[in-house]
Each structure stands twice: as C-alpha cells, then as structure tokens.
C-alpha cells in the first residue's frame, strides 16, 4: 500500500485543521481499500454483519452526500442506493455492486462536499434540520471526522482479515 495521505498540521486555524483531519481520514479509507480486487472488497467482517470495505465506500459516499449536500447546502436530491426504501442497502446490496462505480460516486461526493464546505463559514447553520434540530457546519465537520475514524477502525480490521495488511 502506498500512503499518499498528508498529515494534518500541528498548528492551524480551526477550518484548516478540520479540513486536514477530514481529508486525512478520507485518505485512510482509500488506503485501506487500495490494491484489492472487487471480491476482496466484498469480504464481510463476520456473520451476521454485512460490513465490508465496498459497503464502507458506499456508506461514506452516502454520508458525505447527506451531511454536506442535503443538510448543509439544502439540496433536494435523493439518498444514494435507495436508502429511503432499504436503510442498509449501502452495506447489504454489494454482491453485484461495482467497485469502480462505488469509488467514482464516493470521490464525486467528496469533491462536492469540499466545494460546499469551502463556501460556508463554520458557524453556518444547515439549510435543513436533522431530527428536528439545526446543525452547524462545524458540527458536521466534527461528525464527519468521527464517522470516518470509527469506520476506518472497521476498515483496518477488514483489511487485516483479507490480506494481513495493518497500519494506521
């Protein structure tokens, strides 16, 4: 695995720090998936869980879309993978899912999220509420770092199970 991640700075303003940590965690997920076949990306963690690296890519594309596009920017767009009908579709429906498509969607959602984030101050309140609550851009950034960090722990264990590769 080639680690091309940029380490977050030790000293920076809040926005630069949050952007750097979020990008670092995005890069970590990419690193955990690097060099694997589609069959390896589909390997499940342990029964009865449907957790897989391919499912994590699809899930994180969905999460990027919801928090940045739907909540922060207020875009009226559908959820990915018909999650309104099947809440776990990003994880459960991977047997025929395309890895190339999952990567492309995830990368596209990241680029859109970066543009939305760049244009909003951290104190900006999302144009849509989440569970009846207003949500700040700052909260979304911290939540996204937490979301990636948690799932990167899963990805680390999955990758070790698949081919023995370990590392942060």
Per DSSP, the residues of 56-80 read HHHHHHHHHIIIIIIIIS----PPG
Q: What pLDDT was estimated at residue 106?
A: 98
Residue 110: the pLDDT is 98
**pLDDT at 47 (0 to 100):** 84
**Structural domain boundaries of the chain?**
14-163
Q: Which of 10, 51, 50, 60 is nearest to 30 (CA)?
A: 60
- Percent of the chain at pLDDT above 90? 85
| pLDDT over 90 at 82, yes or no | no
CA distances from 39 to 1, 90, 98, 162 (A): 18, 16, 10, 10
pLDDT at 117: 98
Fold of 14-163: 1.20.120
Helix, strand or coil, per DSSP, at residue 136: strand
Comparing 82 with 133, which gets the higher pLDDT? 133
User: 34-64 pLDDT, tens per residue?
Assistant: 999 999 999 999 888 999 999 999 999 999 9
């Amino acid at each position: 695995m080639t680690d091309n991640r940029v380490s977050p700075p030790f000293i920076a303003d809040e926005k630069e720090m949050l952007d750097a940590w979020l990008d670092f965690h995005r890069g970590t997920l990419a690193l955990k998936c690097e060099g694997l076949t589609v069959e390896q990306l589909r390997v499940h963690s342990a029964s009865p869980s449907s957790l897989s690296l391919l499912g994590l890519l699809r899930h994180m594309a969905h999460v990027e879309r919801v928090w940045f596009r739907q909540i922060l920017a207020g875009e009226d767009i559908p959820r990915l993978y018909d999650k309104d009908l099947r809440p776990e579709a990003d994880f459960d429906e991977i047997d025929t899912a395309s890895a190339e498509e999952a990567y492309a969607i995830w990368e596209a959602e990241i680029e859109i999220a970066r543009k939305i984030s760049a244009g909003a101050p951290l104190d900006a309140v999302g144009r849509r509420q989440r569970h009846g609550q207003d949500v700040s851009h700052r909260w979304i950034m911290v939540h996204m770092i937490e979301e990636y960090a948690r799932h990167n722990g899963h990805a680390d264990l999955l990758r070790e199970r698949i081919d023995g590769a370990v590392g942060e």
